[in-house]
Chains A and B, each alone.
Chain A
Amino acid sequence: MIPELGQFSLILALLIAIVQSTLPITGLVRKNSIWINSAKYLALLQFFLVLIAFMALMRSYIVSDFTVTNVVNNSHSNKPLLYKIVGTWGNHEGSILLWVLILVAFGGALSLFGSNIPTTLRARVLSVQGWICVGFISFMLFTSNPFERTFPPPLNGNDLNPLLQDIGLAIHPPLLYVGYVGFSIVFSFAIAALLEGEVSSAWARWVRPWILISWTSLSAGIALGAWWAYYELGWGGWWFWDPVENVSFMPWLVGTALLHSAIVTEKRGAFKAWTVLLAILTFSLSLLGTFIVRSGLLTSVHSFAVDPERGIYILILLALSIGGSLLLFAYRAPSLEGGGLFSPISRESGLLLNNLFLTTSAAIVLFGTLYPLFLEGITGEKISVGPPFFNISFTPIGLMLGSTMAIGPYLKWKKADIAGILSRIKFLIFVSLGVSLFVWYLKTSGPVFAIVGVGVSFWLFTATLFEWMDRVKLINKDYSDIFKRIRSQPRSANGMTIAHLGMSFIILGVVCSSAWKEEVIGFVEKGSQLEVASFLVTFGGVSLYQGPNYNSEKATVKVEKDGKFLENLYPERRSYLATGTSTTESAIRQSLAGDLYVTISEPANNKFKGKWVLRLIYEPLVNFIWLGASFLALGGIISITDKRYKVGRTFKYRRTKPANKVVRLDNF
């Protein structure tokens, strides 16, 4: 009964979506204010309907209702409750339902918190959002229905892939989807603006909180995915430039460019067409990602169930949304007015440079990912484009971006005194060079990118911090008002500082853990010892224990350094009963200086039966990556709470500062 209720809700939601796509826009033409205002309520209604459907599916998982095909394929009665719940989205159909839920949630959020936005613009945005909903809900109902029934129901299900039975992987999809799907609202804003024929500074201000929410969530989602891969997969790596990883990285790169370009549109009314284009492209890249992951077009370790038929359906959705929006862009964008003037060295040009680096990177990732497909189509040759290509092409741009973004916050609008800035902070440049040389001296085997990278990271960190200190006049030694000055800083400025500091950590973590990783492998039995990076590791043997749906062989490993006992680690090999597959559970000794990463496995060669393979990896400074990512997310969250966006707190704001431009009603 409940699955049918879910199914019915989805059908209703589709019907409402169809109305939402058409009624408000028609209302704008016919100047019918009831129809225009209906957008808000339709969006909220859609949200509730899809929520009911989602709850229905989740409930089927919790009670292990094996009459539902989706539950049979992906769950098992012995699975721990947590993984029954998160398993709702650990498969294709369920994850599409989650996607749609977030899509309608954003529509609902705009209805509730977007009252500072003119009704007409909001009606248009919600209508466009409605079109996207129609596309995805119909995709779900016609090709990926989560509520299909199995009769007669089997005694038990096939269990969830053991790799997915993990808390990190539970939160990763929702965070990622809030990112991907959040950009749908930004996309709708862009389309609505093009339809109106007008992109104002006010528009840029209204859209910004939605960009920030999506960007923050996407950053966190990607970082979480990388962190999960790091601790779960057993080889100490966290990024492989795999197609599925790349398609999440592209919207992030373009989204970051958008985040920065929109600042210029908001403050100076410039880069209008470019910002709108970035808004369209970010969501288009999210859609491209959804397509590539689920269609089987490219080979990837992360593939969902591959189905070219579904691929065709999504491709049609893409053709309509991306094709349609870019066509509208080509038609309307040329008539958007240009913005203010600025000198070649200014905050505007700095942000333009930032955009150059980010969009070039996105183009590199896109081209590299799709190149094997292109080549195969044209000549039939099959090649692989893997990490070497991406690392070689991306690293220089990443380092250039890191170096120049240190100066960005110092630049003033319209015209910046670059000579003055550099003379004030040139001592930081010398210190950073010194750091690089020192690292080169210490680690003569280090690759160039790493030595430069450490210097860039240091430069970015100190320059960003120094700019903040300068802004709160910390250096003036006038400490009387210091706390007042710190508190009165606009939140968006603080957000920027924190996020940029986060980037410096990420650069440091990435280059050091990649360049100076150490690995030791050995056959061990009780009492054997291995050494890595001045840690002495003693193997204490293996004991067996039984988990809820798996059997585990758990090793005890003693870690010592300089003769002092540090801790015991417990790496495991787990064998999941329902699927028969096994996973490695690594044991990690974490510290800011680096991680000691320990895994065990059984030898492949029968000659060594009875012994175990112990693998030790030392990853220096790797935790700076996750620390940096948290700073990025924190910076985003702080920026969202900036007073001038007032998402939600509307009346005070509207009375004191009216919108910059009047929205014209007669444009369609």
Chain B
Amino acid sequence: MRRFVFLTPLALSLIIGAFAVWGLLNDRNPSEIPSALINRSVPNFDLLPLPGLNSPGLSKKELLNLEKVSVVNFFASWCLPCRAEHQSFIKLSRNDDIELLGINYKDNDKDALDWLTELGNPYTYVGNDFSGRTGIDWGITGVPETFIVNKNGKVVHRFSGPLVGERFEEFKELLMLELK
């Protein structure tokens, strides 16, 4: 019994060590937080369109009425990775089963318009979140951030960071699952 007591420090260190190994090997990002919106209905929003752009704005009610799978993408003209992933959205826009909603986060109207004119506008709807409040409502921690919303208006997935390469493949797979 006494021997047993003397083994406790070792036992405790092994437990801590096991968690440390898990923490390192997992390719995890300690600063990344899971989205609080998963499996919940889309948050309330009502966004005006970007002046000068031919895409309309969108509200939650309108999104729910669409009853289609939608992809919500937060972007900004001052965000470099958004530029990198923009091609992916151009590709997605060819698929008629998905609604693409772009939300312009904390941006300047003119800069955003120029950016979309230059790179092309893949979005069916573009909402103007000048204040960043909608971003907070969706719990974003930066741009770009993309959400997959199912037909019933429930948020099912959240992707932080640009959708390029492998990441984009992952995204497409999950999107395909929702469409079935």
Task: Scan A288-311; emit 1 where CB is below 8 A from any B CB, else 0.
Answer: 100100011111000000001001
State the CA gap A277–B19 with chains docked (Å): 23
The distance from the CB of A305 to the nearest CB of chain B, in whole angstroms, is 15
The distance in angstroms between the C-alpha atoms of A326 and B6, with both chains bound, is 9
Q: Say yes or no: is B14 at the interface (Cβ < 8 Å to chain A).
A: yes
A376 and B7 alpha carbons, distance in the complex (Å)? 27
Whether A333 pairs with B20 at a CB distance below 8 angstroms is no
Bound together, the chains give a CA A330 to CA B7 distance in angstroms of 5
Q: Which of A95-103, A316-324, A349-357, A595-603 contacts B (4 or more CB under 8 A)?
A: A316-324
User: Smallest distance from the beta carbon of A119 to chain B beta carbons, Å?
Assistant: 30
Q: Does any Cβ of B come within 8 Å of A373's Cβ?
A: yes
Cβ of B177: which chain A residues have Cβ within 8 Å of it? none
On chain A, the residues within 8 Å of B28 by CB distance are 376
Instruction: Tell me the bound Cα distance from A552 to B6 in angstroms.
Output: 59
Kindly list chain B residues whose C-beta atoms are within 8 Å of the C-beta of A370. 16, 19
> Interface range on chain A: under 10, 10 to 19, 20 to 34, or 35 or more?
20 to 34
B17, CB-defined interface residue at 8 Å: yes
A382 in contact (CB, < 8 A): yes
**Nearest CB of chain A from residue B173's CB, rounded to whole Å:** 21
Interface string of A360-378 (1 = CB under 8 A from B): 0000000000100110110
Instruction: State whether A323 touches B17 (Cβ < 8 A).
Output: yes
Main secondary structure of the interface of B (DSSP, over half): helix
B9 close to A298 (CB less than 8 A)? no
Q: Mark B25-38, 1 if CB is under 8 A from A, else 0.
A: 10010110110000
Interface centre among B3, B19, B20 (most CB of A within 10 A): B20
* Structural contact, B9 and A329, CB atoms closer than 8 A: yes
Complex CA distance for A377 and B26, rounded to whole angstroms: 10
Q: Please name the residue on chain A nearest to B12 by beta carbon.
A: A326
B21 at the interface (CB under 8 A from A): yes
**B9's contact among A281, A311, A312, A377, by CB below 8 Å, is which?**
A281
Are A326 and B13 in contact, with the CB atoms below 8 A? Answer: yes
A319 to B20, CA, bound (A): 11
> Does chain B have a CB within 8 A of A327?
yes
Q: A374 near B19 (CB under 8 angstroms)?
A: yes
CA distance A334 to B30 in the complex (A): 41
Closest-CB distance, A435 to chain B (whole angstroms): 41
Are A277 and B9 in touch, CB under 8 angstroms?
yes
Give the chain A neighbours of B30 by CB distance below 8 A: 296-299
Given the interface contacts A318-B17, A326-B10, A330-B7, does A377 sit within 8 Å of B22 by beta carbon?
Answer: yes
Query: Separation in Å of the A291 CB from the closest CB of chain B?
Result: 7
- List residues of chain A with CB within 8 A of the CB of B34: 380-382
> In the complex the two chains form, is B3's CB within 8 Å of A312's CB?
no
Of the A-B pairs whose beta carbons lie under 8 Å apart in the complex, a sample of 6, sorted by A's number, is A277-B9, A295-B24, A298-B30, A323-B10, A326-B10, A374-B19
Q: What residues of chain B have their CB less than 8 Å away from a CB belonging to chain A?
A: 2-3, 6-7, 9-10, 13-14, 16-17, 19-25, 28, 30-31, 33-34
Q: A323-B14, A370-B16 are in contact. List 19 more A-B contacts (CB 8 A).
A: A280-B9, A297-B30, A312-B25, A315-B20, A315-B21, A326-B9, A326-B10, A326-B13, A329-B10, A330-B3, A330-B9, A333-B6, A373-B19, A373-B20, A373-B23, A374-B19, A377-B22, A380-B34, A382-B33
Shortest beta-carbon contacts, A-B, top 10 = A326-B10, A330-B6, A330-B7, A299-B30, A297-B23, A311-B24, A308-B24, A326-B9, A299-B31, A382-B33
